[in-house]
Amino acid sequence: MNRLPRTLGLALLGLCSTGLLANAGLAQTRMDRTRTSEFPAGSAEATDIRQWLQDHAHYLNGNMIGELDKLGTLTVTWQAQQSDPATPDDDLPLALPASGASGDRISISSCGSDKLEQQSWRYQWAGSASDGSWVLESYHYSRTSCATED
């Protein structure tokens, strides 16, 4: 009679640990996918990125954060949380998305046209995919040479 409860206990322990392992496997399939692209000043893509920054602008004391008239070459990094690790990063669109999913991030950096002003914005999607918005996490500006050696 003592064997039945012990056997049942071992069976339950086995089911629980199998469930935990299965859940651990699901958690491991969620991963970040990142796409980084660079766009020269004056390109159609740079114009679209400028408009995206304008559309998602944040204001401090009535002034927009960032100096969009001083944008030069733009580098955009889009980091998306995906549950399908088999999908290649190249499937991320080049255009900046209007919406996102929890955990998605967009970073935009610019080396000014005079190569002396660096700006960077970092946004994170807040809310659900159907009811959320891009929220500015950080903005940095520095007046330092960003020219690269050729």
For 60-78, how does the pLDDT look when each residue is reduced to its tens digit (9 = 90+)? 999 999 999 989 999 999 8
pLDDT confidence of residue 149? 55
Lookup: tokens for 90 = 């190249």
Question: pTM for the complete prediction?
Answer: 0.70
For 29-44, how does the pLDDT look when each residue is reduced to its tens digit (9 = 90+)? 455 778 899 999 999 9
Residue 41 or residue 18, greater confidence: 41
For 89-145, how does the pLDDT look when each residue is reduced to its tens digit (9 = 90+)? 454 445 688 888 888 999 999 998 777 789 999 999 998 878 899 999 999 999 888
5 pLDDT more than 70: no
Rounded Cα distance, 29 and 83, in Å: 6
Among 64, 67, 74, 76, which residue's Cα sits nearest to residue 42? Answer: 74
pLDDT confidence of residue 7? 43
For 145, the 3-state DSSP assignment is: coil
Lookup: tokens for 66 = 């960032």
Rounded Cα distance, 132 and 100, in Å: 8
